[in-house]
Structure formats: structure tokens, C-alpha cells
Structure 1
Amino acid sequence: LLADNPDYLEQVKELPRKMYSGKMASTRKGYFFCYELPTKRADGSWSDGDGIYRWYVVDPETNQVTEDLHEIWTAIKCEREESRAFNANEEQFSEIRKVIENYIKKNYLKAIQAPMGKKAKLVTWLQMI
């Protein structure tokens, strides 16, 4: 990526903090999410903008959440020339976002005993139709 795009690192710094897009599904339909998750540092403090990043895909028909990186990568990768395709409305997206945020609370935040107020931060998302 860097060899083909030498200005990539500088361009990324200028991008908005949150991005979204959509594409025609290649292997599965659903919503891809990338979240920054809080982590506890060695000194006992909690991350703030420097947590770990996790990928998730939610199936809108079943609300099933997938964390398998290879499966997700296969579903979201696309060619540079691939057309954008997007049809989610705000209500649909809000419902799916609730599903993934509840999943993260139940399966990650409780497991690490994150203090009240520490939340996962949505970094980017992609609809696969």
C-alpha cells in the first residue's frame, strides 16, 4: 500500500476521524464496524484515543456478530475502482449500531471491568448490500 501510495500517511492525517461507505456484497451482506476499545495501561490508567481496534460484522437479518478477521477481511476488501453502494437509512443503521454496541458491552467491556463512562468509539463502518 505504501509503495503504491507514497503520500498515504500524510493523506490519512487529513481524513475525518469517522468515515463510512458501502459496497456490493462479495461474500456476505451486513454491516462492518471498526471500533476503538478502551484498555487499561500498566500504570492503572485507561486509554483515551489509544486503545485497541477491533473489527466486527453484523448480519442485519439475524443480528449475528462475527469477529473472524479473515472472514471480515474477505467480505470488506475491494478494488480501488469498485463503485460505492449504500442504501441504509438512519433508523436501520441505529438499530444495527445498538446491536453491536450491546455486544461490545457484554463481551468486552464487562470482561475487562471497564469503569463507568469508558465506551467503545466507532471509527468507521461499511454497509455491504
Structure 2
Amino acid sequence: MKFKLTTLLSLCITACAAPNFDMSKLDYGPEPLNYKEIIMEQSKLFVNDPESIQVKWGNFPLRKHFIYNRWTGERESHGWMVCYSVNGKNAYGGYDGFSPRMTLIREGKAVYTEYDARAVKSCTQS
């Protein structure tokens, strides 16, 4: 019985541990020099009037590694992070106000975007 309990406990501890890998070996790909175009194309998919988009750029692309769900290790990714704010027209034709965003770019494509409070948290922790 003691052996089973010890084995079960060690399996639980091993399963809950963070993934062990060398982050220095991650391939972030080339720095996206066209990051503004990539983000503008993606942003146009989610607004009522794509031509009315206003953007305030926050930073140049920075290398970033993410684990989206720390409990399961699910959706682990890495790439070039860009922080910015977007303003677009609502259904009534008025602007809603700037909303913070963070987009992760890898190999010339937007692979993940965070909105509002999550974007602010990601951008301030970089």
C-alpha cells in the first residue's frame, strides 16, 4: 500500500511540473519587418468598417515564449510579440475607443492575439 501511494504521489508531482526544455534553442524565425501589415490584415477581419481602423503602435517586435494554459501545458508557442491598440467604428458609425492588443507573429503569420486585460498583462510582463 505504501509503495502504491508513493508511486501515485510521484506521478502527480511529475505531471504537474513545468515542461523542461531549453528556451535558447527555440526557433523564433526571422524578425517580421512587415509586422504592421500582418497585424492590419488580421485586424480588418474583426471590425465593422475595415477602412476605418486606427492603430497606435506600442513596441517593435520582441521575442516571446507563451504557455497559454499552465495547468495542461496546452498551446505552447513562441514568436515575435507586438503590442498595440486598435480603434474601429461600431455598427452605428462611431468609434468605440482604443482597445489594447498583443499579437504573436511567427514565420510571417499572426499565430495568436490577446485582447484587453490579457494583452495589457502580456505587454507589461515583457
TM norm structure 2: 0.30
Higher relative CO (Cα under 8 Å, sequence separation at least 6) belongs to 1
Task: Decide which structure has the larger Cα Rg and report it.
Answer: 2
Higher share in helix: 2
Higher share in strand: 2
TM norm structure 1: 0.29
